[in-house]
Structure 1
Amino acid sequence: MKSLVRAQLCFMMFLEFFIWGAWFVTLGTFLGNNLKATDGEIALAFSTQSWGAIIAPFVIGIIADRYFNAERILGVLHILGGVLMYFMYGTTEFDDFYILVLGYMILYMPTLALVNSVSFNQMKNPAKEFSLVRVFGTLGWVIAGLSISYVFNWDQGINIGDGLLRNTFLMTAIASAILGVFSFTLPKTPPRAATTGKISFKEILGLDSLTLFKDKNFLIFFVSSVLICIPLAFYYQNANPFLVEIGMNNPTGKMTLGQVSEIAFMLLLPYFFTKFGFKKTILVAMAAWVVRYLLFAFGDVNELGFMLIIGIALHGICYDFFFVSGQIYTDSKAGEKFKSSAQGLITLATYGVGMLIGFWVAGKISTAYVINDGEHIWQTIWMYPAGFALVVFILFAIFFKTEKIDYQS
């Protein structure tokens, strides 16, 4: 891969995840403090991510694999998303905000598969090359969080009360516009139809990638991806409000420690993946989720503050070893035939169905453990996702058969 192309892909990944991290981490805190949303309403807002992910495979399957270049679709979606983010910046009522965030997520979630498709299309060996590009996405998320906490101080107690977290949506709108325009300069990723000719109705609907379910191991991986995202939803929805509520200073900035560790483990992933194989890599990730939530359950901001920091830092293993490994595994299973729709399919599993259920469950459990003054019984809340992750770990260990991924040198 040429240096210029690699630089373009790295910048694309940086902005893609800067955009997500710039508002999503503090969304629960913003809604609860500034729009006075209930735990149920916060769960409803977070679930828009899942609806977007559920729709994403059809957008990718119908459009990216069939009619238009992936990089052009990426540009259009981010420009439109930037417009919606600007309107979210000026919204003061939850009902209006919900409509806008739902529209935004329907536009944004397909872009996760699109940036992967654009990247994989330029790589001869994704298993070795993709991590070095994807790590810039993590860096983008880190810079967003550090900016919120340490540059602008939008997540500090008095500033939250003054509504300064609203500025995260304006920052995101600007970044979305930049990536939207930049996307049109990316290497061309033409639709598969340009080279394969006539496409069946089944392919037009993006259902061709469902043939991957004939592979028992892939089916087990898909089901496990759905289930592990139930505990993941607890982290996205509750981590920042939890840290704010128990009195941690600069919570958003400190949460970026998870992405810093993600960078380290992203660079270690090719070695670990090659040395120990896909199954062990996934099992390590699942075990890390169990440990993380136990640390959250029993840690505090005083003598046991180190437990919270370790729990945050485990994000590198939790995310990279499961989700990035899963993207590589999916790409290897799909082959050249339907790369884009297969990536959309795994997006459906991880950020769609699983997290839709997870956000609903997290909202119900969080509501059930609210005490009279509006605070939460966090220790009990965190025990639930720890238990969920442990069950998935056991099921995957039993039913997924060890499989060797073919690496190219």
Structure 2
Amino acid sequence: MITLRLSTMMFLQFFIWGGWFVTLGTYLASTLSASGSQMGMAFSTQSWGAIIAPFIVGLIADRFFNAERILGVLHLCGAVLMYMMYQAGDFTTFYPYVLGYMIAYMPTLALVNSVAFGQMTNPSKEFGKIRVWGTVGWIVAGLLISYVFSWDSTSAIADGMLRNTFMLCAIASLALGIFSFTLPATPPKAAGQKTGLRDVLGLDALALLKDKNFFIFFLSSVLICIPLAFYYQNANPFLTEIGVENATGKMTLGQVSEVLFMLALPVFLNKFGIKATLLIGMAAWVIRYALFAFGNADEGLFMLIVGIALHGICYDFFFVSGQIYTDAKAGDRIKSAAQGLITLATYGVGMLIGFAVAGKITDEYTTATSHSWQDIWLFPAGFAAVVLIIFLMLFKSEKVSTNA
């Protein structure tokens, strides 16, 4: 029964995110007539949320309140903000609501994990079976938008139907907000303990940067977030604009591949080592964007499909492997601090820079009626290639206990 409740929590958590974030770029461009820079501002709210999240979780949730109660309050607030996003008629009105929403939503990613871990006796065996339902939720959201409601069809977009994604997610957020109060009690673990800013931001882990290999990995992680931002911001608008039908539904193939390549990751780590695995992940970014640059909605559609399917390698082989590498390098004392630092650096600072760059490059190659997508996609392809070369030359092969 508890497993079912936790699985439902994860399903709704990522259903909400996948239900509006994937099509956000298309909505902003088509319905609100947003520029590339404005789109970058909207997407960068995810980064601001990631930067602020440690303060909410570390300074409030971990010390004073049950995790499931804060989870409920934040999702109820999110439902209201999502409804206001649904009603917004222009970007100026829309932006404060999406910023407020992401500040409320990003802390919930840690909170759902806290609630789940709090009910488990063997997290290493139990968590994966729960977390996978989050990926299923993201996939279902995309399939509903494309194949059930057809909100991302050319005619529906022209009629402003993508606005309905915000209403759908507002309802899901309201449901999860109410449901959260029925979840098992997860009291604060740091109640009565002194937790300072240094602990919350993971600053104790800065000592790891004295290790040259870890410093190169850390720098590469921040830089590779710039190409990553291009995918989040531009993939759906790109596919929709060039005439790919059911683009949102097709993009769920990325989440399917993420699950499949997660299963393959331990094999690669154990057989080829951490450096080769990370290099494969970075190479996948280069190949993906090259495929996007030269693919099209007709005879080149297979190139776009392969590019979407590469998401599993792009994400799992670099970011998940990176989390494993960070865990191995940190040691028991600063494991949490190290993970907090790498998350803050990538999803916070790295993605913040990435969305700003993606916005400017998109504006640079915007024409009167469309975009020069080949030029837009060649930029992150080339950038990822440079990061790959730097990493290849400077990161020395080493053996670490990855526990894969």
Give the match for residue 368 of structure 1: 364
SS at match of 1:193: coil
- Displacement of 1:300 after TM fit? 0.8
Amino acid at match of 2:63: R
Give the match for residue 133 of structure 2: 136
Q: What whole-Å deviation, never above 9, does each CA across 1:278-328 have from its counterpart, x for those lacking one?
A: 333322211111110000011111111110110011111112222333344
Change in 2 beyond 3 A, CA 1:187/1:353: same
Return the TM-score normalized by structure 1: 0.89
SS at match of 2:44: helix
- Displacement of 1:176 after TM fit? 1.4
Change in 2 beyond 3 A, CA 1:343/1:41: same
8 Å contact from structure 1 (residues 13, 133) kept in 2: yes
- Displacement of 1:33 after TM fit? 1.0
Q: How does 1:313-328 map to 2 (within 5 A)?
A: 313-328=309-324
Give the match for residue 378 of structure 2: 383
**1: distance between equivalents of 2:96 and 2:245?**
32
2:86 to 72, 85, 89: 89
**1: distance between equivalents of 2:121 and 2:209?**
25
8 Å contact from structure 1 (residues 16, 179) kept in 2: yes
Change in 2 beyond 3 A, CA 1:132/1:107: same
Change in 2 beyond 3 A, CA 1:376/1:202: closer
Give the match for residue 17 of structure 2: 20
Q: What whole-Å deviation, never above 9, does each CA across 1:225-249 have from its counterpart, x for those lacking one?
A: 2111100010111111111111111
Amino acid at match of 1:223: L
Greater mean alpha carbon deviation, residues 315-324 or residues 56-65: 56-65
**2: distance between equivalents of 1:354 and 1:202?**
20
2:391 to 392, 396, 401: 396
Amino acid at match of 1:86: Y
8 Å contact from structure 1 (residues 44, 359) kept in 2: yes
- Displacement of 1:361 after TM fit? 0.9
Q: Mark the runs of 5 or more structure 1 residues left unpaired by the alignment.
A: none
1:234 aligns with 2:234: no
Q: Mark the runs of 5 or more structure 2 residues left unpaired by the alignment.
A: none
Give the match for residue 102 of structure 1: 99
Change in 2 beyond 3 A, CA 1:176/1:185: same
Q: Identity of aligned pairs, percent?
A: 67
Q: What whole-Å deviation, never above 9, does each CA across 1:202-235 have from its counterpart, x for those lacking one?
A: 4366644545545554443332221111000101
Change in 2 beyond 3 A, CA 1:136/1:396: farther
SS at match of 2:370: coil
**2: distance between equivalents of 1:378 and 1:93?**
25
Amino acid at match of 2:222: V
1:243 aligns with 2:239: yes
Amino acid at match of 1:289: W
Give the match for residue 51 of structure 2: 54
8 Å contact from structure 1 (residues 74, 111) kept in 2: yes
8 Å contact from structure 1 (residues 223, 349) kept in 2: no
Amino acid at match of 1:135: V
- Displacement of 1:42 after TM fit? 1.3
Q: How does 1:5-404 map to 2 (within 5 A)?
A: 5-120=2-117, 130-194=127-191, 197-199=193-195, 202-203=198-199, 207-213=203-209, 216-331=212-327, 342-371=338-367, 373-397=368-392, 398-399=394-395, 401-404=397-400
Greater mean alpha carbon deviation, residues 362-371 or residues 337-346: 337-346
- Displacement of 1:339 after TM fit? 6.2
SS at match of 2:238: helix
Amino acid at match of 1:287: A
**1: distance between equivalents of 2:7 and 2:46?**
24
8 Å contact from structure 2 (residues 216, 395) kept in 1: yes
8 Å contact from structure 2 (residues 278, 317) kept in 1: yes
Change in 2 beyond 3 A, CA 1:294/1:205: closer
**2: distance between equivalents of 1:74 and 1:5?**
17
Amino acid at match of 2:297: V
Greater mean alpha carbon deviation, residues 177-186 or residues 149-158: 177-186
**2: distance between equivalents of 1:65 and 1:84?**
25
Change in 2 beyond 3 A, CA 1:45/1:200: closer
Amino acid at match of 2:233: Q
Amino acid at match of 1:387: G
Amino acid at match of 2:352: L
- Displacement of 1:127 after TM fit? 6.0
Amino acid at match of 1:315: H
**2: distance between equivalents of 1:152 and 1:350?**
34
**1: distance between equivalents of 2:275 and 2:298?**
38
Greater mean alpha carbon deviation, residues 387-396 or residues 124-133: 124-133
8 Å contact from structure 2 (residues 275, 395) kept in 1: no
**2: distance between equivalents of 1:95 and 1:88?**
11
- Displacement of 1:28 after TM fit? 0.9
- Displacement of 1:369 after TM fit? 1.1
Q: What is the Cα-based RMSD across aligned positions, in Å?
A: 2.7
**2: distance between equivalents of 1:299 and 1:146?**
23
Change in 2 beyond 3 A, CA 1:395/1:388: same
